[in-house]
A = this chain, B = another copy of it.
């Protein structure tokens, strides 16, 4: 009897040691349905004996960026980039200084800037995101992202990525998944920092695509960025962009807003085990609370209205509560 007890004790100790040697790949997640859904999905799709096993070449996971991988409030970082680039544009084209909407942006009047309307924003986007070579743009974004800071935490935007989502990216990659960003933001903008920030290379960034024009400027062949939208990578455009850029249907998709709905629907419509998740911003203290967490029908950016919440429940998508599911939000001390 004592020997049996001893053997059991040893077995327990050994199994404990084995568990300890395989650290939790998602340490920033609290135990709960969201964490379990991710772990179950990985187990189901990567265990060779599983009915829903997915060959490694087909393992594709797609992630929205703004509001899913990093903070999108109070304003998208790419819009901040555009605003902060206006002085340089005006320096090169002084005639714009007295012209709207550039005049308002230059005034620094936050209230007036917040009231700029979509045609104004598009004019600013065209002036700040096009007209240079793709290499010049890449250099400019890299320089900005290395220095710019957000208005609340006064941190680099790349520090405002969600630690739990960084763990999901790494966990999926460690299990043979190719991770893609599928963003409404500019493809070239996100490519400039995504490799360093998320470990996701340029060829795995699907974003809104502006046209380029091959040109022999100064005798050297270059690609000039043009004010022409080839793909609006939002809503249906996310499913269409995934097909265009990847050519495979994702097995897992993560989003946080109405614009991600079609990507999740497209993912779910494939055969076998699929994972669809939505990040709910319900943590006003550690991040922000908006959408259904605030009882809002719609919010200014990154809308996650009641409608999406209802769709998620109807379709069996898993909602991630930042407040409940995430032990920590950021890698830096809160």
Chain A residues packing against B (C-beta within 8 Å): 57, 134, 178, 187-188, 191, 195, 201-203, 205, 209, 211-214, 220-223, 230-231, 236-237, 239-240, 243-248, 262, 265-266, 268-269
A63 to chain B, nearest CB (A): 16
Query: What are 14 A-B contacts defined by CB distance under 8 Å?
Result: A57-B201, A191-B247, A202-B248, A203-B247, A203-B248, A205-B247, A212-B240, A212-B243, A214-B237, A214-B239, A221-B268, A223-B239, A223-B240, A230-B230
Bound Cα distance from A201 to B56, whole angstroms: 12
Known contacts being A201-B57, A203-B245, A230-B231, is A240 close to B266, with CB within 8 Å?
no
Bound Cα distance from A120 to B237, whole angstroms: 31
Known contacts being A246-B202, A246-B203, A248-B202, is A269 close to B222, with CB within 8 Å?
yes
Chain B residues near A187 (CB-CB < 8 A): 244, 247
Q: A203-B246, A213-B236, A230-B231 are in contact. List 15 more A-B contacts (CB 8 A).
A: A202-B246, A202-B247, A203-B203, A203-B247, A209-B244, A211-B240, A214-B236, A214-B240, A214-B262, A221-B239, A222-B269, A223-B239, A223-B240, A223-B243, A230-B244
Chain B residues near A209 (CB-CB < 8 A): 244
Bound Cα distance from A195 to B58, whole angstroms: 12
Chain B residues near A230 (CB-CB < 8 A): 230-231, 244
Smallest Cβ-Cβ distance to A216: which chain B residue: B265
**Contact among B178, B205, B220, B243 with A134 in the assembled complex (CB-CB below 8 Å):** B243
Bound Cα distance from A245 to B230, whole angstroms: 12
Bound Cα distance from A239 to B220, whole angstroms: 13
Known contacts being A221-B239, A223-B239, A240-B223, is A214 close to B266, with CB within 8 Å?
yes
Central interface residue in A203, A212, A213, by most chain B CB within 10 Å:
A203
Bound Cα distance from A297 to B209, whole angstroms: 37
Central interface residue in A188, A221, A247, by most chain B CB within 10 Å:
A247
A245 touches B247 (CB 8 A): no
B247 touches A212 (CB 8 A): no
Chain B residues near A265 (CB-CB < 8 A): 221
